[in-house]
Structure 1
Amino acid sequence: MNTSIKIFCLLVALTLSLQTSAQQKIEKEYRIKASMVPKQAVDFIQECFPDTKVKWYKEEGNSTYFLEAKLRFGGYLYSIKFNTDGTLLDTEYIISFNQIPDQARLKIENHLKERFTSFSIKKVQVQWLADETTTKKLIDKVKVSDLKFTTNFEIEVRGKHQSQVEFYEFLFSSKGELLKEYTIIQRNPNNLIF
């Protein structure tokens, strides 16, 4: 096979892999009352964040539903996600991009520079995947070396690729390795804007 055919096949393969790796993410969330949330989730939030004002949301994804508690605690904005049965899924809190450890931040930055001709970071969150007991210790900042949990970074980006500008959500490991990429589908407003 000659070189030009090999290069063409490689470009087609790369294009297809980029298209399949970037899934679409459609999110819609709306406020709900605490009385609509399973007791298990409400109790967990009250135990971890006593005397803290909590706003509850129901989040609809592509084909999933979640419950989410949003609150401010210890100088951070937290978002704690539960299944509809009250089972803890993940805990996230907002940080600045510069708070990501240097080595991971550089890998993430390099990935974004390769992916886009220009980009701006809109939001960065630390994501913990852990059971309830471990999550409570993480929130309380207990330094225990044998805790079993996963830390990821969820990053929302406004990126320009060629001439197209879109919003994306990336999930990177604690080492800066890309785990997931979504194109965020913006909801159309219900009202006409003139």
Structure 2
Amino acid sequence: MKPFLKYLILFLTYFAFASNSYAQEIGEKFEKEEKIKQEEFPKPALELIKPILKKGKRTRYFKDFDKDTYFFEVKTIYKDEKISIKFHKDGSLLDIEILKEIEELPEEIQKHIQEYFQPNYKKYKLNRIQIQYNREEEYEDGELEIDDDEEYIEEFLEMDLEDLIIKYEIEAEVVDEENERGYFEFLFGAKGKVEQINKIIKRADDNVLY
């Protein structure tokens, strides 16, 4: 096979793979939020976050719908921070997030976020930014060890960042090179690299923030 033809095939194969990978990276997020009473919230979940609820202000309870499933969520102001705690429908803990402004993020993360949006979109507006605190996952003797809900909450309350995985969730309105406008949720890793992109399909007008 001639070198030119060989490289052409390799290039086309790479291009097809890259295009397909990009298409797979864009998911969908159906967003609908319904306010509920505390009595409708899973009792084990309320018991788990009792230390937060005791000191929380303007606490609200929600059921979040996403395609064929739903989650429970608490939003409150705890130690002057606007936090949200999300649970699976069985009451097990999913994640904890704190609402922030872009200026409150580490400078290096701000830089990486700007370096991502500026070349990829003609225009963009960062509507909502949250620091996401995820439970630690590590391998012990070849087996995956994951902190249980109690350990996870304790590490968050103590702000034990060595045992928490930090990510940055950003909801943004963007305009691409074809002047198409869209709403997306971007998840950035601890070092500022994009890990996940979801197109927001439906945004409830009556979503309550804090």
What is the TM-score of this pair, normalised by structure 2?
0.78
State yes or no: 1:154 paired with 2:169.
Answer: yes
Q: 1:74 aligns with which of 67, 73, 79?
A: 79
CA distance in 1, matches of 2:160, 2:9: 56
CA distance in 2, matches of 1:29, 1:188: 7
Structure 2 letter corresponding to 1:172: F
State yes or no: 1:31 paired with 2:47.
Answer: no
Higher strand share: 2
Measure how far apart 1:184 and its partner are: 0.7
Query: What's the counterpart of residue 45 of structure 1?
Result: 49
Q: Which moved more, 1:3-12 or 1:78-87?
A: 3-12
State yes or no: 1:182 paired with 2:198.
Answer: yes
Measure how far apart 1:87 and its partner are: 1.0
Structure 2 letter corresponding to 1:158: E
CA distance in 2, matches of 1:169, 1:152: 13
Q: 2:89 aligns with which of 75, 84, 88?
A: 84
Q: 2:130 aligns with which of 117, 122, 125?
A: 125
Specify every segment of 5 or more residues in structure 2 that has no aligned partner in the other structure, as ranges.
136-148, 206-210
On the 8 A contact 1:154/1:170 being kept in 2, the answer is yes
- In 2 relative to 1, CA 116–10 (structure 1 residues): closer, same or farther, beyond 3 Å? farther
- In 2 relative to 1, CA 143–121 (structure 1 residues): closer, same or farther, beyond 3 Å? closer
On the 8 A contact 1:158/1:168 being kept in 2, the answer is yes
CA distance in 1, matches of 2:18, 2:110: 25
On the 8 A contact 1:104/1:175 being kept in 2, the answer is yes
What is the TM-score of this pair, normalised by structure 1?
0.83
Fraction of identical pairs, as percent: 25
Measure how far apart 1:110 and its partner are: 1.0
CA distance in 1, matches of 2:202, 2:29: 9
Higher relative contact order (CA 8 A, sep 6+): 2
- In 2 relative to 1, CA 8–117 (structure 1 residues): closer, same or farther, beyond 3 Å? farther
On the 8 A contact 1:48/1:136 being kept in 2, the answer is no
- In 2 relative to 1, CA 120–20 (structure 1 residues): closer, same or farther, beyond 3 Å? same
Instruction: Report the secondary structure of 1:112's partner residue.
Output: helix
Q: 1:103 aligns with which of 101, 108, 117?
A: 108
CA distance in 2, matches of 1:169, 1:62: 15
Instruction: Report the secondary structure of 1:49's partner residue.
Output: helix
CA distance in 2, matches of 1:18, 1:92: 27
On the 8 A contact 1:80/1:92 being kept in 2, the answer is yes
CA distance in 2, matches of 1:104, 1:86: 32
Structure 2 letter corresponding to 1:166: G
Structure 1 letter corresponding to 2:190: S
